[in-house]
Amino acid sequence: EEIRDQLDQYYGIHAKPQQLKFTYGTAGFRTKANILDSVVFVVGILASLRSKYLDGQTIGIMITASHNPPEDNGIKLCDPQGEMLEQSWETYATTLANLNTKDEIFNEIIKLSTQLNINLDSPSNVVIARDSRDSGPILTSSTIDGLKVLNTQYKDFGLLTTPQLHYLVKSINTLNSTTSYGEPTEDGYYQKLSNAFKKIYNNFITPASSLSSSASSPQKIKITIDAANGIGGPKIDLLIQKYLNDLIDYQIVNNQYQDPLALNVGSGADYVKTNQRLPNNINPVPLQLYASFDGDADRVVFYYQDEEGLFKLLDGDKISTLLTSFLKDLISKSGLNAEIGVVQTAYANGSSTNYITDVLKVPVVCTPTGVKHLHHEAAKFDIGVYFEANGHGTVLFSDNFISVLKNTSPSTPQEQRAIETLFELSNLINQTVGDAISDLLTVLIVLTIKQWNPANWDELYTDLPNRLTKVIVPDRYVFKTTNAERQLTSPEGLQEKIELTVKKYQNGRSFVRASGTEDAVRVYAEANSRAEADQLSHDISELVK
């Protein structure tokens, strides 16, 4: 009865416009902000049910549309250990979001609670945060109305990056346990990352070993960050200023996060990766390192200008190979036995896959697009490195391997340093989800230890020229794939035609799949030269149309 009363009170202002259809996809619900109100309201209800179902553990809600344009927004749920919402619940989310009346919603709540054996009177807890979009505050308050329907305790953390919210959820749910992840505050996040960074730094960089001109103080680590005018800017600013100012010399551009209309415009990781060019407001100095975050700071890509003035991208594949080679070296120096593996998607550059397999001799697993697939596979290794080419990724350390690191007594100083570094990397690298801030600090410390400039990093392997394009088709759902999205099974006959075309190109590779976040089909093509990659991309797009 109480639930009915609450729905009576709140449903009216959050009723769904009849004609709209919504789907909980790889990025949660994401669309134009002005049609999201009814959706976020029911997500509040669903988060409450999920928390009650999990004995009151805290569920996270993030309001963001990542790299999408300013007028978009979105909402996604985060499970108790900071992971993405369990798949079966994505279906409940979609069902709830498409109900058209108060009675239907009430009946669905009752149906789910019966089916899943949820006690509706039991406690439920939620934390919520948002990126810097101007629709954020109003959508937050509509979500909170949804939370009130089932009497959920909540805390609104306001502006955060997506990975910070994941950090908080895991920290809250592990509080006072032996697996405590960190202090469940925003500052706790900064402390955890900066402490790990400093420990690794001090283990390797001493004034004597540095190449600095003045022997007494090593040079500061230099980085310029394009924050896409999003929430990552003020957050990394806070972290470095408060905790790492004496080690890092940094500059943030495109940092107008208070101007929501500037978000992701001519800037950010997606812009840089897709267009393979510099963002606005960067005048590159050759061989200096630059980084771009996306709008909610869960992706990062790096780049530099080479001595000939050419723009060079260091994307998710380059991050993955840099970290894998460093970690592999540490494992061997530690004297420990650990299985390291890399997880990629079909969008990974072919050269990166060859480099990891043939040079690093580390196994590579290919999964469908979407972080939850990569995350799941990475969790099977002692150290699982996963990055999408677009810069979203992280490194997972298994619980078992972390306890090995904690309990091993090293027999040499070299072993000790390797073991300590591996352990601190597990603290520096966000274990819940890809995190631009955490990944940035990790790349910086690895480059500093190796004394590498961006060109040294880039030399590990040479990317095959590639092109990623979108083709608008009448119905993208007819494009069905197999083999981790690398081959089409439908429409009939198309895969054969693609293969015949690809055969004409040296080192040619191409695949076609329907986007999960946009109404389009994506065509990826790579080949030996820029011109051939473009031609292949064109040929395949013509087949798809």
Active site residues: 66
Q: In Å, how far from its chain's centre is CA 346?
A: 17
Reference 542, options 519, 525, 517; nearest CA is 525
Three-class SS state of 505 = coil
Residue at 55: amino acid letter:
D
Task: Report CA Rg, the chain.
Answer: 24
Query: What's the burial of 419, exposed, middle or buried (CB within 10 Å: 0-12/13-18/19+)?
Result: buried
516 near ligand NG1, judged by CB under 6 A: yes
Distances (CA, A) of 377 to 364, 367, 385, 396, 430: 10, 8, 10, 10, 17
Three-class SS state of 189 = helix
Which region, judged by CB under 5 A, interacts with Zn ion, from 144-152, 286-294, 301-309, 365-373? Answer: 286-294
27 near ligand NG1, judged by CB under 6 A: yes
66 near Zn ion, judged by CB under 5 A: yes
Which of 15, 23, 26, 151 is the binder for ligand NG1 (CB under 6 A)? 26
Which region, judged by CB under 5 A, interacts with Zn ion, from 81-89, 114-122, 289-297, 345-353? Answer: 289-297
77 near ligand NG1, judged by CB under 6 A: no
31 near ligand NG1, judged by CB under 6 A: no
User: Number of residues in contact with ligand NG1, rule: CB under 6 A?
Assistant: 13
Eight-state DSSP code of residue 208: G
Three-class SS state of 147 = helix
Q: Of ligand NG1, Zn ion, none, which one does residue 254 interact with (CB within 5 to 8 Å by kind)?
A: none
Write b or e for each residue in 395-413: b if 16 or more Cβ atoms lie within 10 A of its Cβ, otherwise e: bbbbeebbebbeeeeeeee
* H and E: helices and strands count for the chain: 18, 19
Q: Of Zn ion, ligand NG1, none, which one does residue 467 interact with (CB within 5 to 8 Å by kind)?
A: none
DSSP per-residue string spanning 23-66: --BBTBEEEEGGG-HHHHHHHHHHHHHHHHHTTT-EEEEEE--T
229 near Zn ion, judged by CB under 5 A: no
Name residues contacting ligand NG1, limited to 382-441 (CB under 6 A): 388, 390, 392
Three-class SS state of 362 = coil
296 near Zn ion, judged by CB under 5 A: yes
Indicate the residue among 4 and 470 with the shorter CB distance to ligand NG1.
470
98 near ligand NG1, judged by CB under 6 A: no
Residue at 152: amino acid letter:
T
Q: How far is the CB of 364 from Zn ion (least distance, A)?
A: 24
Name residues contacting ligand NG1, limited to 322-351 (CB under 6 A): 347
298 near Zn ion, judged by CB under 5 A: yes
Q: How far is the CB of 67 from ligand NG1 (least distance, A)?
A: 8
458 near Zn ion, judged by CB under 5 A: no
Which of 194, 267, 369, 495 is the binder for ligand NG1 (CB under 6 A)? 369
Q: How far is the CB of 545 from Zn ion (least distance, A)?
A: 30
Which of 427, 522, 536, 539 is the binder for ligand NG1 (CB under 6 A)? 522
Which region, judged by CB under 6 A, interacts with ligand NG1, from 152-160, 227-235, 238-246, 514-522? Answer: 514-522
User: Number of C-alpha atoms within 13 angstroms, CB side, residue 386?
Assistant: 30
Which region, judged by CB under 5 A, interacts with Zn ion, from 297-305, 379-387, 395-403, 522-530? Answer: 297-305
Which region, judged by CB under 5 A, interacts with Zn ion, from 2-10, 62-70, 131-139, 174-182? Answer: 62-70
Q: How far is the CB of 535 from ligand NG1 (least distance, A)?
A: 21
Q: Of ligand NG1, Zn ion, none, which one does residue 296 interact with (CB within 5 to 8 Å by kind)?
A: Zn ion
515 near ligand NG1, judged by CB under 6 A: yes
Q: Of ligand NG1, Zn ion, none, which one does residue 388 interact with (CB within 5 to 8 Å by kind)?
A: ligand NG1
Q: Which residues are CB-neighbours of 147 under 8 A, at least 6 positions away?
A: 44, 45, 47, 48, 126, 154
Indicate the residue among 14 and 318 with the shorter CB distance to ligand NG1.
318
Residues facing residue 77 across a β-bridge: 61
Reference 25, options 307, 349, 369; nearest CA is 369
Reference 473, options 485, 491, 489, 492; nearest CA is 491
Cβ pair 544, 473 in contact under 8 A = yes
Three-class SS state of 308 = coil
Residues facing residue 521 across a β-bridge: 471, 514
Indicate the residue among 83 and 294 with the shorter CB distance to Zn ion.
294
Q: Which residues are CB-neighbours of 32 under 8 A, at least 6 positions away?
A: 71, 72, 73
Residue numbers of the site for Zn ion (CB under 5 A)?
A: 66, 294, 296, 298
Residue numbers of the site for ligand NG1 (CB under 6 A)?
A: 26-27, 66, 347, 369, 388, 390, 392, 515-518, 522
